[in-house]
Amino acid sequence: MITIAVDAMGGDYAPGEIVKGIEAARDRYLDLSFQLYGLADQVPALIQNSERIEFISVSEVIAMGDEPVKAMRQKKDSSMVQAAQAVHDGRADALFSAGNTGALLSCAIFIVGRLKGVDRPALATALPSFGSQHDQFVFMDLGANAENKPNHLYQYGILGSFYASHVLGYQNPRVGLLNNGAEEDKGDELHKEAHQLMLHTQAFNFVGNVEARELLDGSADVVVADGFSGNTALKAIEGTALTMLKQLKKAILGAGWRGKLGGLLLKPAFKSMAQQLDFNEQGGAVVLGVKAPVVKTHGSAKATAVANTMGQIKTMIDQDLVSDTAAFIVENHEALKVKKSAN
């Protein structure tokens, strides 16, 4: 039996949609059990069937706008911190929240704890990929780290490669480095040095630089970025997709009867396109490099997205993602240290 510690109070639709999603996941995955951390006057009344669902009462909630590290330190009896503590103590196997991303990162790093040998855990997500044999690629770091060193990016290659092979099932995943040019001498010092570290590694299958223009083209199965530009690229992609859908709608509405009829005819086509581009349905963002699966869904996640994310966590555990990553890093400790001293 796998036990997932759930922050039932995080997210725009918490606790209602969280509880609903957990009950759906419980019915779908028979080897999952759940601990729901939440306020006693809100959560218990929502649980329809408490089979494999344990409610644990807390007195505080970390808000979306709270300063992450401060919130983690001061709100010790919050749903998120208590859920993280359960994972740290071995009472649960994984941590889930749809709440404050920064606070969840802090809980992952400081309470669940870093894997031995990992300098900077990173936030990763799967984005849609067009034109490769796979329909998703792993993109990281999404902003867990504002300042990066070459060795961090090198380690992201290891962490992302394990995620792609274990959770997405890709064989020998192709790892690329987000950089502002294809040639190996492109970019600032950080990216030039990271490229050199990756170039001769045996730890993963490096395929060179990837430009932001090609991100969605399937040029690589894992794209590694420093936290600042990874965050920038992710948000630029999301913003552009949203803007285009809005402009498309506007153009159709502005086209009179032609627009009305054409829009009606193309509705199924638009819907399938919008689904392919819906990053939120593709599962949660994962903190890689910590001692247990820690997964965050979008703040606006509803029950279905929550339930799907439980399936993602189950795969991470079934496929031994964390233990295999940890073992690799320990086994290659000396080799990785050499890499480290090189910068």
Positions touching a second copy (CB under 8 A) are: 130, 143, 146-147, 178, 180, 187-189, 191, 211-217, 227-229, 231-244, 246-248, 251-252, 254-255, 258-259, 261-266, 268-270, 272-273, 276-277
In the sheet that holds 205-210, the strands lie side by side as: 53-58, 32-39, 2-7, 94-97, 294-296, 285-288, 122-128, 136-140, 222-224, 174-178, 205-210
Q: In the complex, what is the shortest distance from the CB of residue 299 to a second copy, in angstroms, rounded to a whole number? A: 14
Residue number with CB closer to a second copy (8 or 215)? 215
Residue number with CB closer to a second copy (116 or 260)? 260
Residue number with CB closer to a second copy (188 or 331)? 188
Q: In the complex, what is the shortest distance from the CB of residue 232 to a second copy, in angstroms, rounded to a whole number? A: 5
Q: Which of 170, 173, 213, 212 is nearest to 191 (CA)?
A: 212
Residue number with CB closer to a second copy (54 or 214)? 214
Q: In the complex, what is the shortest distance from the CB of residue 254 to a second copy, in angstroms, rounded to a whole number? A: 7
Structure tokens belonging to residue 217: 């083209």
Residue number with CB closer to a second copy (65 or 90)? 65
Q: In the complex, what is the shortest distance from the CB of residue 253 to a second copy, in angstroms, rounded to a whole number? A: 9
Residue number with CB closer to a second copy (178 or 224)? 178
Q: In the complex, what is the shortest distance from the CB of residue 273 to a second copy, in angstroms, rounded to a whole number? A: 5
User: In the chain, what are the helix, strand and coil shares in percent, each to the nearest 5?
Assistant: 50, 20, 35
For residues 254 and 122, give the distance between their C-alpha atoms in angstroms, rounded to a whole number: 44
Identify whether the C-beta of residue 216 lies closer than 8 Å to the C-beta of residue 128.
yes
Residue number with CB closer to a second copy (276 or 304)? 276
Q: In the complex, what is the shortest distance from the CB of residue 225 to a second copy, in angstroms, rounded to a whole number? A: 8
Q: What is the 3-state secondary structure (H, E, C) of 246-311?
A: HHHHHHHHCCHHHHHHHHHHHHHHHHHHHHHCCHHHHCCEEEECECCCEEECCCCCCHHHHHHHHH
Q: Which of 296, 294, 314 is nearest to 305 (CA)?
A: 296
Pairing of strands 285-288, 122-128: antiparallel
Burial environment of residue 285 by CB neighbours within 10 A (0 to 12, 13 to 18, 19 or more): buried
Q: In the complex, what is the shortest distance from the CB of residue 210 to a second copy, in angstroms, rounded to a whole number? A: 10
